[in-house]
Chains A and B, each alone.
Chain A
Amino acid sequence: GAVVSQHPSWVICKSGTSVKIECRSLDFQATTMFWYRQFPKQSLMLMATSNEGSKATYEQGVEKDKFLINHASLTLSTLTVTSAHPEDSSFYICSGYPLAGRNYEQYFGPGTRLTVT
């Protein structure tokens, strides 16, 4: 159990366009979802915390107008990278924190690799 999916798994877009990444918790409800970014050979950095029905909380240095997060339901959060640039190319990973009934863990999605050309 505790499965999180992401779609798409990889995407290539042109500079200046926007791309949306979906994160779904498949077998649990997540009041909170997290979005991380990982550059090659680096660690995961938390970008934002997404709470169902409210505005996301962004970490310092993350542009909220560039990385739009929507958490419309207890099983779906989306990250939209607006006006993407090559420096936004990265591996984006989401995680879900269960509402209840699980043991203290975030469950990670498989990641989405974004390449901006």
Chain B
Amino acid sequence: ELKVEQNPLFLSMQEGKNYTIYCNYSTTSDRLYWYRQDPGKSLESLFVLLSNGAVKQEGRLMASLDTKARLSTLHITAAVHDLSATYFCAGEYGNKLVFGAGTILRVKS
């Protein structure tokens, strides 16, 4: 059974600072996903990571995948207030997604 652990669960950041969210998974996952959720909204897809060593970047966010370590990271560069949201990683087995607990990110001015 695939289990996904995310940390930290809450992250308070100063604007302009860098930080990383970690996502560990317990067994082989077909793919690794990162999503953003704003309050009261559904999920917005950020990244799909397909293979070992995959790195994807979009603006201030960069995601990577290390399948040997069963670890994915979401790195935030020079945080801005607009990045405040909840971020979820999810592993996939078969075609089912297993979500991490989510990281609540608050960027303070």
| Residues in A lying within 8 Å of B, measured CB to CB | 32, 34, 42-46, 49, 93, 97, 103-111, 113
Choice from A45, A97, A107, A110 contacting B95 with Cβ under 8 Å: A97
Distance, CA A53 to CA B40, complexed state (A): 32
Is residue B11 contacting chain A, with contact meaning CB distance below 8 A? no
* Residues in B neighbouring A42, C-beta threshold 8 A: 101-102
Q: Report 30 cross-chain contacts, Cβ distance below 8 Å, ordered by A residue.
A: A34-B97, A42-B101, A42-B102, A43-B88, A43-B101, A43-B102, A44-B43, A44-B88, A44-B97, A44-B99, A45-B99, A46-B97, A49-B95, A49-B96, A93-B42, A93-B43, A97-B95, A103-B48, A104-B31, A104-B48, A105-B45, A105-B48, A106-B95, A107-B45, A108-B42, A108-B43, A109-B42, A110-B42, A111-B41, A113-B40
Contact (Cβ within 8 A) A32 B95 = yes
> With contacts defined as CB atoms under 8 Å apart, how many contacts are there between chain A and chain B in the complex?
42
The interface size of chain B toward A, counting residues with CB under 8 Å, comes to: 18
* Residues in A neighbouring B101, C-beta threshold 8 A: 42-43
* Residues in A neighbouring B97, C-beta threshold 8 A: 34, 44, 46, 106
Q: What's the least CB distance linking A18 to chain B, in Å? A: 23
Q: Which 4 A-B pairs give the minimum distances between C-beta atoms?
A: A111-B42, A108-B43, A43-B99, A110-B42
Is residue B50 contacting chain A, with contact meaning CB distance below 8 A? yes
Is residue B91 contacting chain A, with contact meaning CB distance below 8 A? no
Q: What's the least CB distance linking B5 to chain A, in Å? A: 11
* Residues in B neighbouring A113, C-beta threshold 8 A: 40
| Residues in B lying within 8 Å of A, measured CB to CB | 31, 33, 40-43, 45, 48, 50, 88, 95-102
Distance, CA A52 to CA B27, complexed state (A): 29
B4 nearest CB neighbor, chain A only: A43
Choice from A34, A107, A108, A111 contacting B96 with Cβ under 8 Å: A34
From B98, B99, B101, residue with most partner A Cβ within 10 Å: B99
Contact (Cβ within 8 A) B42 A104 = no
* Residues in B neighbouring A97, C-beta threshold 8 A: 95
Distance, CA A60 to CA B37, complexed state (A): 25
